[in-house]
Structure 1
Amino acid sequence: MGESQKKVGMGDNEPQKKKKGGFETGMKKWGIPVAIIAVLVLMFMPAQEGLDPAAQKSLAVFMGALILWVTTPIPIYLTSLIAILLLPIVGAVESEKEVFGTLGYDVIWLMVSAFILTSAMIKSNLGRRFSLWMITKFGRTPKMTLIVLIIINFILAFFVPSTTARATLMVPICMILLEVYKAIPGKSNLGKVMMLQGLQADALATSGIMTATAGNIIAVGFINEQAGGNIGYMTWLMASMPAAIITMALTFMIGLKLFSFKEETGFENARDQLKGELKKLGPFSLDEKKATVIFLLTVFLWATGDYHEAWFGFEISTAQVAVLAGLLCLLPRVGLLTWNDANIKWDLMLFAAGAYAVGNALDKSGGAVWIIEKVVYGLGIEKMSHGMVAVVVIFIAMYSHLIFTSKTVRVTILIPAFIALAKSLGMDPVPLALAAAMTTTFTITLPPHSKVNTIYFGTGYFSILDQVKYAIVTCFLGATVISIFYFTWFKVIGI
């Protein structure tokens, strides 16, 4: 990131580190003792009808891990390591290979490669060049610039598999626009709508692409492993991207009504300054050329997965394509990264491995079905029609981010639960779990709900109330559109 880019997003508007409230502090303090008590109670409680001993033990480990993941007295990856150790020791699984082997899942490799691709995009400055070019070329009015910024967010989601990285890229560009336009933080409606639509576009674009965040990849792992699905890159794209685009178009129009601004003169000055920023990048560098070729090849192979057998005589899976892309980025002379340049979040890899281990143990032992049956009959869900159950599940998944601030933790908790619910009710678990998974990136209601929110909120252009009232509408629209797609579009594309 260049000096000019750093300068724009920093200073007085830099996000301040959020102080922990009393409730959050209390959760951290009591998380470990509560988790231990829950494990012991469930482990040694009298045998329950329909609950096998292995299922009871896997349930105990799952509940202990769940409490620690939610209260976070220790990092979530350490909780996963504890769970991986406990499952074979207590007899919840038949072999330790069942839990240790989760680190070799294809989705784990997909996540590793996604982080390598993100590092390549950032180091090469390709994303920044593309964003500046788009705005200076097509952003002739404030309204048109807002549309271009949204389009950039959606395009970058294909190439930058990190919501935070995309926000870090986009915010300085928005700051340049608003500073030249003399938009006053907290007062300018243009500033409010630009920043709020920026964080919403980041979230909605992420929901449309399987590889745009680790949470989507983890969800696909559960759907394919536990629900018997065959969800790949193109299936997710066809199912979710149209819903994301429709929701974004609707919320864009609503945003213009909520935060109305006048088309004022002087916006051309902002474009002139951005042209200067683009000029500072100089000619297309060798690293940018390499990154472009690698990303285009990656997207091409992902998009043509159904034709690989006919073309090459063998199929290249989504994960294999991602590993190939990571390899090309790291190869000497061919690529543009060294191993030290690749910002791979191994803590997230370990968390995901533990999440899969606990989830699979609970599913294979029958513990998940037992829990869901208790919930279903306790709440009377079994009396609802399958269609109503689907709508309830989608809306619960959408607004669950108000409770669980981590996308990955939420996916780990909800997706296996919804799969088990569908099985217990005789519903097809694949479309239900996929629809629920499409909602999990809508973490847009409050600043603490995602790092992206915090980055945009730190600019000072909008208040918490501004964010809440806009997000409530957007989440409702998103859940409604996804519900409609569940009953219509999913059937058209064969899900």
Structure 2
Amino acid sequence: MASPSPSLHSSLTVRHGVCLVAILTVLAYLLLGPTEPTLWRASAIIVLSIGLWATGWLPQWLTALVFFTLCTVASVAPTSTIFEGFASAATWLVFSGLVIGAAIHHTGLGNSLANRVGPRISSSYAVAIVGVVTLGLMMAFVMPSGMGRIVLMVPILITLADHLGYAPGRRGRTGIILGGIMGTFLPTYAILPANVPNTVLMGAAEAVLGEPPTYSGYLLLHFPVLGLLKAILLTGLMLKLYPDTAPTPLSHPGPESASLGRREQALSLLIAIAVVLWFTDSWHGISPAWVGMLAALACLFPGTGLMPGKPMQSLNFEPFLYVAGIVSLGALAHDSGLGDHIAAGVLSLLPLSAAPDWQVFGMLSGLAMTLGTMITLPGVPAVLTPLAPELANITGWSANAVYMTQVIGFSTVLLPYQAPPLIVGLLMAKLSLREAARICLIMAAASIVLLWPLDYLWWQLLGQI
């Protein structure tokens, strides 16, 4: 008799069993328990979903589908609330990022970029680190999807490390690859469409307050400190932790002098137009999501050659479902009244009403950072944004200023598990989670001590608080 498939045994774990029991327990409560109050029924689904997302015991997309199914089966809210995420600009911004990333890979634009960057950063190891961190940060302006950007960047970084002569096992190789991964991750929370928490924040603000932040306004508020200064801080840390000798580039790195092909030129022009429109959204009024979708439609249109013959098969829809689920969870928390109850609990613990502005700034930012360790980063805006109106009344701040403090908190990443794209990048590059955790912890401490006070002063200068 043939033995059972080992892959089947390895995929059925105790954790999956615990998740299944939890799901069935909540389902039984929803179907057999009291129909009122709706708050408790919605809370049961929200707590289950956040627990599954926080532990990562089920795939994120599957948890999103569990959320949608339980909400619909139990009729805990109107359909418009349950599926709010699919109407959110944040979700479609993620989709457009997935398409643009696939197009960059299909056309070979990513490889061309690696061939052109290599010779320009080979003069010294310090220049190489500055180059890859800068490349990662600049990619965030071009590609509005953290997961897609990581998937694209890792092969480029590995190619660059090989080209510069840093073999596996050398500190320089770890510095080049990890520096690029962190460069396209930690400072990019200061760019609106660059990471899932940012886009969830945009969707949650739209659902709760009726108006999402603009690209340019968000960039002005956050990029000088949380983007530029954090990138400089990261560069110095990488040079300190992973010192190495100067690069020894390969004599024949590849056709970096060759001109771009027709498809690469077309995609480059399309991305350049999209970037210009993202930067000027406060002038023309078109949401970054729909700018991204226009670019995605151009990529997907038959005959352009920017995507494979069956383009939808080349896309990974997991981030799309995840963001739709997390935005819908935030809408349900707001509409069910759970947000108000959480606000009451938060206010009982934090003396926000009597505190000076700098303490309010620190407490709200710290709350977002701490919450990110429990529900992962994309869950922070889903939970906290519904509290913004109530917290604004208590603190005397504007609702915009209150929910923008979340960016300071969720951009201060304590451990890699909080951010799925970071984990994906580390696994792709075969880097140690321990190395990444060390970077995250040191950067978090430096951010709290150095960048948070500077950010507070920057907000005051802008008149935000």
Change (3 A) 1:425 1:44: farther
**Would you say how many aligned residue pairs link Structure 1 and Structure 2?**
455
Equivalent in 414, 420, 445 of residue 476 of structure 1: 445
- Name the CA distance, whole Å, in 1 between partners of 2:326 and 2:419: 21
How far is 1:88 from its partner? 5.8
131-140 vs 445-454, which deviates more? 445-454
Of 17, 34, 43, 1:29 maps to 17
Q: In structure 1, the residue corresponding to 2:249 is in which secondary structure?
A: helix
Partner residue, 2:4: none
* 1:175–1:221 Cα change, 3 Å: closer
Contact 1:113 1:322 in 2 (8 A): yes
Contact 1:233–1:303 (CA under 8 A) maintained in structure 2: yes
1:282-327 deviation per Cα after TM superposition (whole angstroms, max 9, x unaligned): 431111111011111111112122333xxxxxx4332222221112
Return closer, same or farther for 1:174/1:430 CA change in 2, 3 Å cut-off: same
Q: In structure 2, which of residues 61, 72, 89 is the aligned counterpart of residue 106 of structure 1?
A: 89
Structure 1 residues 230 and 356: alpha-carbon distance in aligned structure 2, compared to 1, 3 A threshold: closer
CA contact (8 A) 1:397 1:439 kept: yes
Q: Paired residue for 1:372?
A: 343
Verify: 1:278 aligned to 2:262, yes or no.
no
Give the match's secondary structure for 2:307.
coil
1:169-216 CA-to-partner distances (Å, cap 9, x unmatched) read 444454455456654544x33233323322221212431322223332
Matches within 5 A, 1:115-130: 115-130=98-113
Aligned pair partner of 2:295 in 311, 325, 335: 325
Match of 1:225 among 193, 207, 225: 207
Q: Any gaps of 5 or more consecutive residues in structure 2?
A: 1-6
Cα 1:444–1:258 shift into 2, 3 Å:
same
| Alignment match, 2:277 | 301
Q: Is the 8 A contact 1:127 1:156 kept in 2?
A: no
What CA distance in whole angstroms lies between the structure 2 residues aligned with 1:133 and 1:239?
Answer: 32
Partners of 1:41 and 1:482 lie apart in 2 by 46
* Alpha-carbon distance in 2 for matches of 1:369, 1:84: 22
Counterpart of 1:269 in structure 2 is 249
C-alpha change, 1:399 and 1:53, in structure 2 (3 Å) is closer
**Counterpart in 2 of 1:490?**
459
Normalising by structure 2, we get a TM-score of 0.82
The aligned amino acid for 1:472 is L
Q: Does 1:247 align with 2:216?
A: no
| Aligned equivalent of 2:436 | 467
2:3 aligned partner? none
Three-state SS of the structure 1 residue aligned to 2:364 is helix
Match for 1:278: what amino acid? Answer: E
State the identity %. Answer: 19
TM superposition score normalised by structure 1: 0.77
Shift of 1:490: 3.0
What pairs with 1:172-183 in structure 2 (closer than 5 Å)? 172-176=155-159, 178-179=161-162, 183=166
In structure 2, C-alpha distance between the alignment counterparts of 1:147 and 1:156, rounded to whole Å = 14
- 8 A Cα contact 2:353 2:394, kept in partner: no
Q: How does 1:6-405 map to 2 (within 5 A)?
A: 27-34=15-22, 37=25, 53-72=37-56, 74-87=58-71, 90=74, 92-93=76-77, 95-176=78-159, 178-179=161-162, 183=166, 185-186=168-169, 188-242=170-224, 243-261=226-244, 263-264=245-246, 267-270=247-250, 272-274=251-253, 276=254, 278=256, 282-308=258-284, 315-334=285-304, 336-337=306-307, 340-342=310-312, 343-378=314-349, 384-385=355-356, 387-398=358-369, 402-404=373-375
Contact 1:121–1:127 (8 Å) recurs in 2: yes
Q: Deviations over 1:80-132 (max 9, x none)?
A: 34433444664543x32332354122222222222111111121222332233
Q: Aligned Cα RMSD in Å?
A: 3.8
Read off the aligned partner of 2:406 and give its amino acid letter: A
Q: Unaligned stretches of 5+ in structure 1?
A: 1-16, 309-314
